[in-house]
Each structure stands twice: as C-alpha cells, then as structure tokens.
Structure 1
Amino acid sequence: MDIKTASSLHRLRLVSAPEAVSFLLLLVCSVLKRTTEFNAVPVMGMVHGVLFVLYVIFWVLAWNRAKWGLATAAFYFVLSVLPFGGFVADRKLRRAAEAEVIASRARREGTVNA
C-alpha cells in the first residue's frame, strides 16, 4: 500500500465522525418529533443522507484502494449504520492511515524493502 491508500482511508475517516454525529442527532430529532412540537427531522434527515452517501462513496473508494477483504469492507459498512459506529471507524481508520504513511516513508527512504 502507498500514500494514495492512506489518502483514501483519510477521506473515509473525515466523513465517518460527522456521519455518526448526524445519525445521533437524527435519532434525537426523531424522538423530539414524537414527544414535542419540535420537528427537525426533514433537515437532519437531509444532512444525514448527504453524509451517508459521502461515506458510502468514500467507503467504496477505500475498499478498492486498500484492497480490503469482504469481511473488512463489510465491517466498515456495518459501522456506518450503527449509532456509534462512525466513531469506532474513525479510530480504526486513523490508525490504519498513520501506519500507511509510516510504511510509505520507510519505503521511500529505503529502510524497508518493498
């Protein structure tokens, strides 16, 4: 893997946390809609929908670039539909991207045989 792989993981990571926050806010808005007169579901639904579509696009690109197996790709997709899954994905993707950057620098400097 190379720096482009780290970049694709970084893009997925950048959208995972906001997508998770929007999902939680949408759940809160859904409860508030049922219990009060406050109805922000249409707005939060649209925001969450856009972020989810971006997550799926970046997920497919990362899957292709990182050459994940089916289990890893499914794991990251399932995290996108769990309420706190985006935060877990963010943490795991950060570690993976940092490892890719370190490995790329090591290969470039010739300290590791590629």
Structure 2
Amino acid sequence: MLKFFKITGYLEAFSAIALFFFAMPMKYIFDDPTWVTHTGRIHGGLFVLYMVLVYILKEKYNWSWKIFAIFFVASIIPGGTIWADKRLIEGKKYND
C-alpha cells in the first residue's frame, strides 16, 4: 500500500508541475486551453486519489493528525508530495 501511495505521490507531483509549467503557459501565452483541460483533469484525479490514500493510510498505520496535515499541505505545493515521501515514508518518521 505504501508503494502505491509513493507512486501516486510522484505522479501527483509531476502532474502539478506539468499543469503549472506547461499547460498554463500554453493557455495564457499561446491561447490553447485544451492542455489545461486535460492536464487539470488528470491532476485533479491524482490529487483526490492521493488524499483518499492519505486518509486510508492514516487509519491503517495510526498516523497522527499532524502527519496527515503534513501530507495534505505537501499535496498542495507542486512537488511537495515527493518531499513528504522522502521525509516521512522513506525516513520512517510517520509514527511520531
């Protein structure tokens, strides 16, 4: 389950970066909103999946609300899910 969570976090981070640094410039510089539509849908789905997994793992591993909040805030920051994974999952610091 943690491996699926990690993969989802990386995909969510990549989709956010693609949305902000590729799709949005395509929309506002080149007047092509189709990239934002498709990339935004993918990113939105991955974000929701990531948050559902955070809640499931919180319950499964008895994570504190602090850890839950860190993962939540990390999901809002582009690339933050990668940082959270490295810091909390790989560092095994999620049982404070």
TM range (shorter): 0.7 to 0.9
Query: Which 5+ residue runs of structure 1 have no aligned equivalent?
Result: 1-6, 97-114
TM-score calculated relative to the size of structure 2: 0.83
The 8 Å contact of residues 13 and 89 in structure 1, kept in 2 or not, is answered as no
Q: Report the Cα offset of residue 69 of structure 1.
A: 1.0
Match of 1:100 in 2: none
1:76 aligns with 2:71: yes
* Contact kept? 1:16, 1:87, Cα under 8 Å: yes
Q: Which has the higher contact order (CA 8 A, sep 6+)?
A: 1
Secondary structure of the residue aligned to 1:83 is coil
Report percent identity of matched pairs.
Answer: 27
Residue 89 of structure 1 corresponds to which residue in structure 2? 84
**Of the candidates 48, 56, 59, which is equivalent to residue 51 of structure 2?**
56
Distance 1:14 1:95 in 2: 16
User: Following the alignment from structure 1 to structure 2, what is the Cα–Cα distance between the partners of residues 15 and 48?
Assistant: 11
- 2:29 maps to 35
Partner secondary structure for residue 90 of structure 2: helix
Aligned residues: 90
The match for 1:105 is none
Amino acid of the structure 2 residue aligned with 1:64 = E
Hey, what's the Cα distance between the residues in 2 that align with 1:88 and 1:75? Answer: 10
